Chain A
């Protein structure tokens, strides 16, 4: 019995001794203090808030922001010319009307007035009728290019609004015309 007890005690002592001989955590030296920085005022740059970038106005919005006067001053639609005493659309006029139609299709809210004009070599009454026919020719051609009739109005001024006050064919040709006025945007 005694022998057993002494054995147990010795074993216990041995275990205790082992346990207590567990290597102790190394005593890590505390990290050295950081090197002392030199005494300087700390500057923190404050940037202004970033510049807001305006979304680019679409061509349409740009257009709508202009006044009718401004739009007309820029002459967005080409004036077409006619032969003497005639009201048919010439080939050169057809090209111009095609580009006019393209512009009208781009700015779909626009309404235009098509003005028919004559040169001084016609007579007053007949010229008013001829001017109407010229405006109507341009109107009909634009309709055939797909511009809705409700977007266009026609009017005749006869020979009362010449562009050129000269008395030669150069001036007269300039005056025999159909020209456009934007009346609604």
Chain B
């Protein structure tokens, strides 16, 4: 009797362990130069005619997202004609192998309560025929289907150890409603929405890593102050209002806000400590990092938060420098033909810094690889290209350009491919991609 109990107990424990054991993990690391992963994305099945439009919309947005990722190569449309139509309940993996798909994504759309849309999806590794993601059912309102598709694209990115991009936002400045105000939009330019509503000018936004706050300059009461707007709480907190305060940059860990201020009479770089207590009381510990009579401005954090890059004209002309987070170990990193550099942005993926350099009144973006010291020119449009900001995965850069007349915001890939225009209404600049 006793022995039987022990065996039963052991069996139960083993069974539970088997259930809890994770699916076999696919640890793939994306490296530059790797051939893109072949991704099969057949049309989604619609459970009933009323949700066909929803199925098509989700499919289109997901297709666009995956194309943008630069990691996945979508299967050419013609390849789907070579094989049997997909039945999500009985997948013929050999078919998909025959058209050289590495991954297969299946989806089914159905109606849900309250007029909402339900979506069930699966992602498979074709060769091993195993699912990569835990099967999941999503539900969303018809107006939010884009966000549903973006959520799925991000899940796929995360499965590959990549930073999610498709739910990220870009903050920017626009004069479309008369005054210079802050706005935000989806990574692809959709859903442009206004964020500030005072009669004073706002500019120079920087996102907190959690996406709930934007630090920015605001000209309230004829003073260029640095403020933090908590955009979901409708609250604005003053950080520094003495002198002129500009160019904030939030550290990747969310605990520090670097900015330029003339509070001591000259443009220097300062860092404010950000924590819940300081935000609640509206009082911040601020530390000065630079101490020379030249202009020091435009700080940007390294992904580790242990270094900053910035602009200084301490050597005579504005150049890019790096220093450690305490302000010591200042090293110049920009050289070459230009005498005017500005607006560096340190890639979240590590060792690259994008910046603006002026050569004969043409402003272009350049990318400096800190490891190899190689500089590559990113834009080539005989125009003014400025204010670059990296996507969370470091594969795309958003920037301001007048290449098509006026000031508009464009995005480009890290290797100069995929130029696309994101704004058209009014004049738009100061783009800043969220974490």
Seen from chain A, the residues whose Cβ lies within 8 Å of a Cβ on chain B are 85, 113, 120-126, 128-130, 132-133, 136, 153-157, 160, 181, 183
* 25 CB-based A-B contacts, threshold 8 Å: A113-B222, A123-B342, A124-B342, A124-B343, A124-B429, A124-B430, A125-B260, A125-B297, A125-B298, A126-B311, A126-B313, A126-B340, A126-B342, A128-B246, A128-B247, A129-B267, A132-B262, A132-B267, A136-B262, A136-B265, A153-B223, A155-B223, A157-B201, A157-B219, A160-B180
Give min CB distance, B177 to chain A, whole Å: 15
A111 and B101 CA atoms in complex are apart in Å by 72
Give min CB distance, A127 to chain B, whole Å: 8
Dominant secondary structure of chain A at its interface with chain B? mixed
A166 and B131 CA atoms in complex are apart in Å by 60
Q: Which residues of B contact A130 (CB under 8 A)?
A: 295
Are A121 and B244 in contact, with the CB atoms below 8 A? no
Give the contacting residue for A129; candidates B203, B295, B363, B400; CB below 8 A: B295
Q: Which residues of A contact B128 (CB under 8 A)?
A: none
Q: Does B208 contact A (CB under 8 A)?
A: no
Knowing A124-B387, A125-B342 are in contact, say whether A156-B224 is a contact too (CB < 8 A): yes
Q: Does B65 contact A (CB under 8 A)?
A: no
A153 and B295 CA atoms in complex are apart in Å by 20
Are A154 and B342 in contact, with the CB atoms below 8 A? no
Nearest opposing residue in chain B for A123, CB measure: B342
Q: Does B186 contact A (CB under 8 A)?
A: no
Q: Which residues of B contact A160 (CB under 8 A)?
A: 180, 201, 203
Dominant secondary structure of chain B at its interface with chain A? strand
Knowing A129-B267, A155-B223, A156-B244 are in contact, say whether A123-B295 is a contact too (CB < 8 A): no
Knowing A155-B222, A183-B222 are in contact, say whether A124-B386 is a contact too (CB < 8 A): yes
Are A126 and B295 in contact, with the CB atoms below 8 A? yes
Q: Does B384 contact A (CB under 8 A)?
A: yes
A155 and B297 CA atoms in complex are apart in Å by 16
Give min CB distance, A23 to chain B, whole Å: 106
Q: Does B318 contact A (CB under 8 A)?
A: yes
Q: Does B361 contact A (CB under 8 A)?
A: yes
Q: Which residues of A contact B267 (CB under 8 A)?
A: 129, 132-133
Nearest opposing residue in chain B for A153, CB measure: B222
Residue of A85, A157, A160 with most chain B CB atoms under a 10 A cut-off: A160
Q: Which residues of A contact B386 (CB under 8 A)?
A: 123-124
A156 and B313 CA atoms in complex are apart in Å by 18
Give min CB distance, B58 to chain A, whole Å: 38
Given contacts A113-B222, A126-B311, A128-B244, 7 further A-B contacts (CB under 8 A): A124-B400, A125-B297, A126-B318, A129-B260, A132-B243, A155-B222, A156-B246
Are B361 and A121 in contact, with the CB atoms below 8 A? yes
- B255-279 CB contact bits vs A (8 Å, 1 = yes)? 0000010100101000000000000
Seen from chain B, the residues whose Cβ lies within 8 Å of a Cβ on chain A are 180, 201, 203-204, 219, 222-224, 243-244, 246-247, 260, 262, 265, 267, 295, 297-298, 311, 313, 318, 340, 342-343, 356, 358, 361, 363, 384, 386-387, 400, 429-430
A126 and B223 CA atoms in complex are apart in Å by 18
A22 and B400 CA atoms in complex are apart in Å by 133
Q: Which residues of B contact A124 (CB under 8 A)?
A: 204, 342-343, 386-387, 400, 429-430
Knowing A125-B298, A125-B311, A126-B318 are in contact, say whether A154-B244 is a contact too (CB < 8 A): yes
Residue of B342, B386, B387 with most chain A CB atoms under a 10 A cut-off: B342
Give min CB distance, B152 to chain A, whole Å: 36
Residue of A130, A132, A153, A160 with most chain B CB atoms under a 10 A cut-off: A132
A56 and B343 CA atoms in complex are apart in Å by 58
A113 and B361 CA atoms in complex are apart in Å by 31
Q: Which residues of B contact A154 (CB under 8 A)?
A: 244
Are A181 and B222 in contact, with the CB atoms below 8 A? yes
A155 and B295 CA atoms in complex are apart in Å by 16
Are A123 and B222 in contact, with the CB atoms below 8 A? no
Residue of A128, A160, A183 with most chain B CB atoms under a 10 A cut-off: A128
A113 and B223 CA atoms in complex are apart in Å by 9
A142 and B176 CA atoms in complex are apart in Å by 37
Q: Which residues of A contact B311 (CB under 8 A)?
A: 125-126
Are B384 and A155 in contact, with the CB atoms below 8 A? no
Nearest opposing residue in chain B for A135, CB measure: B244
Are A155 and B219 in contact, with the CB atoms below 8 A? yes
A128 and B361 CA atoms in complex are apart in Å by 18
A122 and B311 CA atoms in complex are apart in Å by 14
Q: Which residues of A contact B260 (CB under 8 A)?
A: 125, 128-129
